[in-house]
């Protein structure tokens, strides 16, 4: 089965290159550093202590506290961080700079993986969330390099897909030193797939670090954009959700004419298209990237702030009274609802939260969040929260308490990594 898998990957490699070239039409970064995807990276003569793989922005943010602690332990330049997407790469560079070595991860081709491991020579590998790469896992096992799937999650939908090839993936998981699952439910799903070395250590995203400088910046923006205005944020939105948010904002300003929407698309290549959507909807717009920010070019109080920057999500959240988290009104699977909860904001999200099921259930059970079915319900709940400051405060306090009560996964993961490194 592994031979068939590898053969299919080699056959698909030209298609993967064409896909990178095609995606590069809108995001030229996809056409850069292609050799890295085949393991051609600068060698580390002395090797590195840990290789951490995080696919994109969400995984990089989740791994940030872990990476900071590993830098403290092993020193600068002793970690190798890989991502798969240009946005993840940009986030890694912005967050860690020269303190870590960074490249794109190699495709799971046997020769690419071998070349990468020969050049990087990691003593430990940490793969974030659910990246099951058969050839990487086998190569690490053959070389005696402990590989940990950290902050691992496996949704019921993903389990059904993997279970069609259960024997194959049981072998993949057998090459893994440990699966550190987010929850007991995730751990049990990994066990049912064949994992023997698995435990539930908690979700690293609860150990998020709220940057004080961003909070201060967001509070300053709030004052500059109009003190006393009701402000809500639609964060990490995808195609289809901006239209829903703008329609909801139309209903909101009918009752609260001074309301401000902070609209933050998930992917930077969509910033221009979303800006045009705002203009087409007839709203006065200010962009974070505009020289006039935080003032509208027209000199009026803007109805929409477009968050067209990277790495400032906490600043945008700190400027808001209510947070809607995207990827949830469309079937993406949701995004990190713990970030607004950590800032004591009431949280709204749509029905498609299968990638953050445990966080969804926690915030709903604690009274910190409300699930909305569509844009109409989003407008209704946002207006209700604008009109009830006491309820906003209760929900915000409940969310902050839920996040604080579930911290600790980072220390448990570090203890596990120490144990495996010493074995």
Q: Among all residues, which ones are annotated catalytic?
A: 59
Q: What is the rounded distance in angstroms from the CA atom of residue 310 to the CA atom of residue 90?
A: 8
Q: Of 128, 120, 138, which is closest to residue 49 (Cα–Cα)? A: 120
Half-sphere exposure of 289 (CA within 13 A, CB side): 11
Q: What is the rounded distance in angstroms from the CA atom of residue 109 to the CA atom of residue 106?
A: 8
Residues counted in the chain: 423
Q: What is the rounded distance in angstroms from the CA atom of residue 7 to the CA atom of residue 320?
A: 51
Q: What is the rounded distance in angstroms from the CA atom of residue 44 to the CA atom of residue 81?
A: 13
């Amino acid at each position: 089965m592994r031979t068939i898998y590898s053969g299919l990957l080699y056959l698909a490699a030209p298609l993967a290159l064409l896909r990178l070239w095609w995606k590069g039409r809108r995001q030229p970064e996809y056409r850069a550093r292609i050799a890295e995807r085949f393991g051609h990276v600068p060698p580390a003569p002395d090797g590195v202590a840990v290789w951490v793989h995080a696919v994109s922005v969400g995984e990089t943010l989740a791994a940030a506290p872990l990476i900071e602690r590993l830098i403290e332990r092993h020193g600068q330049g002793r970690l190798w961080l890989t991502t798969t997407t240009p946005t993840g790469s940009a986030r890694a560079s912005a967050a860690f700079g020269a303190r870590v070595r960074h490249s794109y991860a190699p495709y799971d081709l046997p020769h690419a993986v071998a070349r990468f491991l020969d050049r990087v020579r990691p003593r430990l590998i940490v793969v974030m969330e659910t990246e099951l790469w058969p050839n990487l896992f086998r190569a690490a096992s053959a070389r005696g390099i402990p590989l940990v799937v950290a902050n691992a999650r496996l949704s019921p939908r993903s389990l059904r897909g993997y279970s069609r090839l259960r024997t194959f993936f049981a072998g993949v998981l057998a090459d893994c030193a440990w699966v550190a699952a987010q929850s007991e439910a995730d751990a049990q799903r990994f066990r049912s797939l064949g994992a023997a070395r698995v435990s539930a250590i908690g979700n690293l995203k609860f150990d998020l670090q709220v940057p004080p400088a961003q909070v201060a910046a967001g509070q300053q923006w709030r004052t500059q954009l109009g003190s006393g205005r009701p402000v809500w944020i639609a964060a990490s939105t995808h195609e289809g959700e901006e239209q829903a948010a703008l329609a909801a904002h139309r209903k909101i300003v009918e009752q609260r004419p001074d309301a401000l929407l902070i609209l933050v698309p998930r992917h930077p290549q969509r910033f221009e298209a979303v800006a045009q959507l705002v203009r087409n909807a007839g709203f006065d717009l200010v962009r974070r990237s505009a020289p006039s920010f935080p003032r509208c070019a027209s000199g009026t109080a803007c109805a929409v702030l477009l968050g067209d920057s990277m790495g400032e999500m906490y600043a945008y959240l700190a400027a808001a009274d209510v947070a809607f988290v995207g990827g949830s009104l469309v079937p993406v699977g949701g995004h990190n609802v713990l970030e607004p909860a950590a800032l004591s904001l009431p949280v709204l999200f749509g029905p498609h939260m299968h990638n953050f099921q445990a966080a969804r259930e926690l915030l709903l059970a604690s009274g910190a969040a409300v699930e909305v079915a569509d844009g109409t319900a989003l407008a209704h709940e946002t207006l209700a929260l604008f009109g009830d400051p006491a309820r906003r405060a209760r929900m915000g306090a409940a969310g902050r308490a839920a996040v604080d009560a579930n911290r600790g996964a980072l220390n448990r993961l570090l203890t596990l990594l120490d144990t495996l490194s010493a074995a």
